[in-house]
Structure 1
Amino acid sequence: MDNKKLSRIFIPKAGFYLLVILFLIVIITILNPLVAIPGFVLFIFLVIYNYKSNHIRNREITKYIETLTFNIDCATKDTLLNFPMPLVLAELDGTTVWYNSSFKGIFEDDNFLQRTVANLVTEIRPQLTEGDSINISKDVTISSRYYSVLGNLVKVDDNNDKESVIIMLYFVDNTDLINERQRFEDNKNTVGVIVVDNYDDLMQSLEDSKRPQMMAEIEKKITSWISHTGGILKKFERDKYLCIHAFKYLKELEEKKFEILETVKEINLGNKIPVTLSIGMGINAPTIVENLQNAYAGIDIALGRGGDHVVIKDGDNFRFFGGRNRELEKRTRVKARVIAYALRGLIDQAPSVLIMGHENADIDSLGAALGIYRIVKSRDKRVNIVLNHSNANIDSVLNKLAKEPEYSNVFVGRNEALDIITKKTLLIVVDTHRPSFTETPELLRMTDQIVIIDHHRRGADFIQDAVLSYQETYASSTCELVTELLQYLEEKIRLTSIETEALYAGIVVDTKNFIFKTGVRTFEAASYLRRQGVDTVSVKQLFQNDLKTYIAISNIVKDAEVVYDNIAISTCPTNIKNAQLIAAQAADQLLSLSGLVAAFVLSYHEGEVIISGRSLGEINVQMILEKLGGGGHLTVAGAQIENVSIQEAKESLKTAIFEYIDSLNKE
């Protein structure tokens, strides 16, 4: 043991010691040459011995390394051949060089093997650099099994002693993991709330003896629809049901477009109005309670869109189904009376009131704001209307208001409104429910008292935490809703002539002269305004076009492109003044042409492309324009698209129309 330690000490430094000995012999030679002769003989012997020892040692080391390399090569080859993970070597062009038995075993035929490897190499080659060994995140499915592919580059020597590069691919079998994950996803709970729309009106349309039979038939249809899922269906109110089933059945229900919506409409027991359902579903929440909350949120939106809807809430995302039928007018006015009393109480408690419509206000927004203004003034409260700027839609009404001293300080801009508002200010939002569409969205965050009065179908983006919401999609306009509220306040409010004209004009414009979305209550609201003294001729004069505008509308109609044989698309020239208003009127005019059931006109305004959509009811323009970020009603809708040209917006519109028509054809 000691000798081995000494040898390890001296062997690495033998050359140094020989030099020391030679130096000492030289010194002895100088002092006494005779004495130095034996020293030289001994030195030569040491040199020869050192040389032979090094030679023998190097030969043994080389032999050991060669033996070790051979053993490693054998172990490596044996490991690769019998490695349980599928391995394959391929050239950069995808040609298979070598593969182990595990890799061969995952394929059913050689052609599929060659094709798959070539495709994989082509896809992953740009992701690899020399010397890399990375997870390329490439998942493949082979013979119903799932693999993640790992790869790295390997240098090899060819016959010409030149280095080349090949790719080594490792196939990691993730089948069990993916199957387990899928089982987990499939068995998650989906919570749904089902509501019978217009329950009161439906029951009133039936004889007393048939009412229990109607509810039994509805419950039978719902039970039959949900039974194959093996889920739970529980009635918890007279018109509400709770259903819980596994998530894996939801895809099937979606593919069938929630056929229950159409199935219940077939029920006919003498009812004068069809049976419709609204369904809200919550999915992918951590708990059943949160899924239930999401389901209720979905129901709120479904009812806000007029019923006959399925709304699925997945986190912050919503999916919509149904809603292809017109909204049914509600005959009972109980809700209008309750809302009127609640609104009066909120006004009385507030120190001041702000009224705000949507951006680029139209006559419905302005008319509703003036109606609410008169209600607030009757309660002796400070009130202002937020309006940042005028436009062609409301210029004629604002010009009349400017001549009346009472309205001189009523309208305020963004900065003034921000100075006025406090946490206790009552903010009444009319003719919109979307925060981004309001005249000044910042105001919504500066008060806890928000009231919404709107007639549009509710979208996924809506004002949260309103203390009072009066959103009725059956109504022709917001002016109709406000007119009804005016009738239920205790005091007999007297409107000014300009206020009655604005409210009446809002109804006339949104109904296209009492043609679209016009129900009994629409005419009753118009009748109330007529008793208030509205001058219908003066209202007609508010919207008269000059010859230049009429020619512009005619040219837009003339240049329209017809797609799917019955849908017209046209564009408004960018150099036309009041392009947005002209585009809307052109869309209305296109619908008067025989054979057309829907029309879209695009215009450019202040960096945005604005789309006006109109329909006779066969095509749901709201669902089409929602794909572009817009909204509205089945027959009247709009959208605003930023940072695109009119041509780009037109192509996007065509794509949205195609997707809508395609979904109809699949049903």
Structure 2
Amino acid sequence: MPKFLVKRWHGMHHIGAFIIMVAMTAALSWLHWLAAALSLLATIGYGLFTLFAERAFRRDLRAYLNTLSYRVKKAGNEVISELPFGIVLYNDEKIVEWHNPFVAEMLGGESFIGQSLKELFPSWQPPKGKELHSEVPVGSKVYSFTLKADDRLIYIRDITQRWTIERKYEDEKLAIGIVMMDNLEEITQGMDEQQRAALLSKVTSEITDWAQRYQLFLKRLTSDRYMFITDHATLKQLEQSRFDILDQVREMTHEQKIPMTLSIGIAAGGANAIELGQWMQTSLDFALGRGGDQAAIKIGEKQTFYGGKSGAVEKRTRVRARVVAHALRDMIKESSNVIIMGHKMPDMDSVGAAIGVLKAAQLFEKEAYIVIEGVNPAISRLMEMIKEEPKLSKWFISPEQALTLTGPKSLAVVVDTHRASMVKEPKLLSMTERVVVLDHHRRSEEFINNPLLVYMEPYASSTCELITELLQYIHERVSLDVTEATALLAGITVDTKNFLLRTGARTFEAASFLRRNGADSTLILRMLKEDLNDYVKKAEIIKQAEIVHDHIAIAVTEPNRKYSQLMIAQAADTLLNMNDVLASFVIGERPDGFIAISARSLGHMNVQVVMERMGGGGHLTNAAAQLECSPKEAAKRLKQVLKEIEEEEGLFE
């Protein structure tokens, strides 16, 4: 205990004694005046002693406090100087007013007072908020910046060691993948064993060299499948190369009538090996569902695609169609009724495919209904033809009616889309666990949850083509009336642009079957005739077209002019007929206020990839997107996406 505090303790006793002496003097004054006088003198003397003692205490206290303040200030300065983190004070103009020695050592100087934060830390972007953190590289180290905007204060900590360990941990995480030859059976049909072995050896050697180049552990599973194991760091290298093995194998086998293509599914970031295995298979399914010749990578919740420049190869055998037809037949028989849905703003393919599924259900005497709401210009003439057939039109119902008819044993069949957000009434999908998806679009990241049966063939021209094939296997004797056959043929005709695009041998076989069942091409011609006013409007859109990247036509409609989705799509089709145009994009505002983009190509460019980056999807040669912005903003965003793809891998095959 300091001496002045000891004195203070004694002083308190002196004050007490003084008070007692005063009381005694007062008492003696009643008894004897001489004793009282002596006591008074003693009391006065003791009081003076106590006063001097109090003054001495206050003097010692001031001296102690002065010494303590100096020592605290000195200790504080030493602590701030030796702090293992940096402190920067700045003013409203973002100019440094003070910093501790840690900052000077970090930046390799003595004083940086008076300099701007932007000059000192060019890689740091001040975040918005009152107290936010960010990681900033400075030289060879990484620092954590904590901003306290209210106090105009920045705390800086060296996190290089922690950051390095985290990166090392992330880079060494397991990643597994599978490589599959998409079309081995189609290519090797007609080859003898020697030719088949030579082709397989050639492709296998290319895959093996690729694996050795990137230090992948490669294991052959079957004649056309390989599994590989790697880590995140190598996976990043593969992504930077944009999986050049896809192009190498395709170009190496270009002398074949059909070049060999690969599909790659990769998974990383899973909680355990079982989850990784499931993700890997899902990624492969994605790649195959999008037409093959591409790599699909799933890292946690993120799904990324590379490649996909070539069109899907048409399957020469109908084995899968027969298997799917038999599975669909059994599911129809086991259901209480069948609810059929297409996508929003239905087109000929959606309605035609729905009529085909309706026929399949009726073959087994099951009640089936087609969900439709409103008639748009794309299907107006087809719906007029259907209304003239009461036996057919009575099965068309509204979404509200469908909700009352759907039960746990109902079979919900989704045609011409595989995205839950695109169907007219998504609630129906949650009212039954029995869901079937029949579609010809390339698979997108969004997919209907847990369907019992999926039949997706991107090589097919249309969903109507797929349904026509299924009808031939689903029942021994299938007989279509004129309206049903015409509706299916109309869907094929529209999606193939009168059998000019995405048309294979099986497309003509399906059309031949429909013609034998009475499909009337004259009716289709009448349905597809254009109105003169619509033709003029389409010409107005085409007039706005500009050519970018030498072979891409982009047309943006005039402000405050609204066009139907069909009109925008037809304008894109027409632009594709112009000389030197390999791809076309038409951007216009629809009556509902949304901005629609229709994309078309002749196969030299994958417009599906472009539209996916714009939030849409579709086919390699036919895709679309829907945005909430102005046409000019959509055009600016589209041009930026085209520029990014051109820089990454090139726009054209």
TM more than 0.5: yes
Q: CA 1:604–1:21 in structure 2 vs 1: closer, same or farther (change >3 Å)?
A: farther
Distance (Å, rounded) in 1 between the aligned partners of 2:514 and 2:142 = 70
Match of 1:623 among 602, 609, 612: 609
Residue 420 (structure 1) aligns with: 405
* Cα-to-partner distance string for 1:335-378 (whole Å, 9 max, x where unaligned): 11221122111111212111111111111000001111111111
Report what 1:47 is aligned to: 47
Q: How does 1:363-402 map to 2 (within 5 A)?
A: 363-402=348-387
* Aligned position for 1:140: 136
Indicate the residue corresponding to 1:173 in structure 2. Answer: 158
Q: In structure 2, which of residues 431, 434, 441 is the aligned counterpart of residue 456 of structure 1? A: 441
Give the Å deviation of 1:6: 10
Give the SS at the match of 1:488: helix
Aligned to 2:340: 355
Aligned partner of 1:291 in structure 2 is 276
Q: Distance in 2 between matches of 1:4 and 1:248?
A: 69
SS in 1 for 2:227: strand
The question of 1:596 aligning with 2:595 is answered: no
Which of 483, 488, 513 matches 2:468? 483
Q: Determine the C-alpha separation between the residues in 2 that align with 1:125 and 1:268.
A: 53
Paired amino acid for 2:315: K
Alpha carbons of structure 1 residues 70 and 620: separation in structure 2 relative to 1, 3 Å:
same
Find the aligned partners of 1:219 and 1:115 in 2 and give their Cα distance. 61
Which residue in 1 is equivalent to 2:56?
Answer: 56
SS at match of 1:190: strand
List aligned pairs for 1:119-268, cutoff 5 A.
119=119, 137-149=133-145, 171-268=156-253
1:59 deviation in Å? 2.2
Kindly provide the CA deviation profile for residues 424-443 of structure 1, in whole angstroms up to 9, marking residues without a partner as x. 21111100011111111111
* SS at structure 1 position matched to 2:402: helix
Distance 2:270 2:116 in 1: 38
1:613 maps to 2:591: no
Counterpart CA distance in 2 for 1:646 and 1:666 is 23
Q: Percent identity over the alignment?
A: 35
Change (3 A) 1:197 1:114: farther
Once the two structures are overlaid, the 10-residue window that deviates more, 318-327 or 604-613, is: 604-613
1:86/1:37 Cα in 2 relative to 1: closer, same or farther (>3 Å)?
Answer: same
- The reply on whether 1:639 has 2:632 as its aligned counterpart is no
1:209-234 deviation per Cα after TM superposition (whole angstroms, max 9, x unaligned) = 12122222222111111213433211
Q: How many residues align?
A: 647
Match of 1:278 in 2: 263
CA distance in 2, matches of 1:42, 1:562: 116
Q: What is residue 65 of structure 1 aligned with on the other side?
A: 65
* Distance of aligned partners of 1:633 and 1:486 in 2 relative to their CA distance in 1, 3 Å threshold: same
Change (3 A) 1:472 1:106: same
The residue type paired with residue 189 of structure 1 is L
The superposition leaves residues 481-526 of structure 1 with CA deviations (integer Å, 9 ceiling, x where unpaired) of: 1111122233321112111111111111111111110111111111
Mapped to 1, the partners of 2:399 and 2:259 lie a distance apart of: 46
CA spacing shift, 1:31–1:510, aligned 2, 3 Å: farther
Tell me how far 1:85 sits from its aligned partner.
2.4
Secondary structure (helix, strand or coil) at the match of 2:474 reads coil
TM-score, scaled to structure 2: 0.90
Report the counterpart of residue 162 of structure 1 in structure 2: none
Taking the aligned partners of 1:665 and 1:491, their CA distance within structure 2 comes to 49
Which moved further from structure 2: 564-573 or 379-388?
A: 564-573
Match of 2:524 in 1: 539
Paired amino acid for 2:56: I
Matched with 2:291 is: 306
Within the alignment, does 1:336 sit opposite 2:321 as a pair? yes
Among 345, 349, 354, which residue is 2:330 paired with?
Answer: 345
Greater CA deviation, 607-616 or 298-307?
607-616
Contact kept in structure 2, 1:387 and 1:412, CA below 8 Å? yes
Contact 2:340-2:415 within 8 A present in 1 as well:
yes
Q: The residue matched to 2:143 in structure 1 has which SS?
A: strand
1:404 is matched with which residue? Answer: 389
Secondary structure of the structure 2 residue equivalent to 1:328: coil
Q: Which moved more, 1:15-24 or 1:646-655?
A: 15-24
Q: 1:519 to 1:408 in 2, by over 3 A?
A: closer
Structure 2 CA distance for aligned equivalents of residues 127 and 452 of structure 1? 46
CA pair 533-58 structure 1, distance change in 2 beyond 3 A: same
- In the TM superposition, what is the alpha-carbon distance from 1:51 to its structure 2 partner? 1.6
Matched, 1:85 2:46: no
CA shift, 1:177, in A, is 1.4
> Counterpart of 1:161?
none
**Do the aligned partners of 2:96 and 2:113 also contact (CA within 8 Å) in 1?**
no
**CA spacing shift, 1:661–1:38, aligned 2, 3 Å:** same
Q: 1:628-651 deviations in whole A, cap 9, x for unaligned?
A: 221111111111224x33333333
- 1:529 lines up with 2:525 in the alignment: no
Alpha-carbon distance in structure 2 between the residues aligned to 1:305 and 1:147: 43
Q: CA deviation at 1:477?
A: 0.5
Q: Structure 1 residue 324: deviation in Å?
A: 1.0
Whole-angstrom distance in 1 between the partners of 2:99 and 2:638: 52
Distance (whole Å) between structure 1 residues aligned to residue 156 and residue 562 of structure 2: 65
Equivalent AA in structure 1 for residue 514 of structure 2: L
Question: In structure 1, how many angstroms separate the alpha carbons of the residues matched to 2:354 and 2:148?
Answer: 68
For 2:633 and 2:330, locate their aligned partners in 1 and report how far apart those are by CA, in whole Å. Answer: 49
Given residue 206 of structure 1, which amino acid in structure 2 is its aligned partner? M
Residue 563 of structure 2 contacts residue 590 of structure 2 at CA under 8 Å; is this kept in 1?
no
Query: Are the equivalent residues in 1 in contact too, given 2:441–2:458 (CA < 8 A)?
Result: yes
How many Å separate the matches in 2 of 1:527 and 1:356? 26
Which residue is equivalent to 1:318? 303
Instruction: Give the 5 Å matches for 1:509-528.
Output: 509-528=494-513
Q: 8 Å contact 1:205–1:272 — kept in the other structure?
A: no
Contact 1:88 1:96 in 2 (8 A): no
Q: What 5-or-longer segments of structure 2 have no aligned partner?
A: none
CA RMSD after TM alignment: 3.3
Which runs of 5 or more residues in structure 1 are unaligned? 155-164
Aligned 1:467-482 pairs, distance under 5 A: 467-482=452-467
Instruction: For residue 47 of structure 1, give the secondary structure of its aligned residue in structure 2.
Output: helix
| CA deviation after TM superposition for structure 1 residue 584, in Å | 1.1
Deviations 1:70-90 (A, max 9, x none): 444454455555x37254665
- CA offsets, 1:253-292, max 9 Å, x none? 1111100001111334963211100001101112122112
- SS of equivalent to 1:605: coil
- Range with greater deviation from structure 2 (441-450 or 137-146): 137-146
CA gap of 1:472–1:112, structure 2 versus 1, over 3 A, is: farther
1:160 corresponds to: none
Contact 1:610 1:640 in 2 (8 A): yes
Quick one: distance in 2 between partners of 1:119 and 1:6? 58
Residue 549 of structure 1: aligned partner: 534
Q: Is the 8 A contact 1:96 1:117 kept in 2?
A: no
Q: Deviations over 1:47-68 (max 9, x none)?
A: 3112211121222233333344
Displacement of 1:381 after TM fit?
0.7
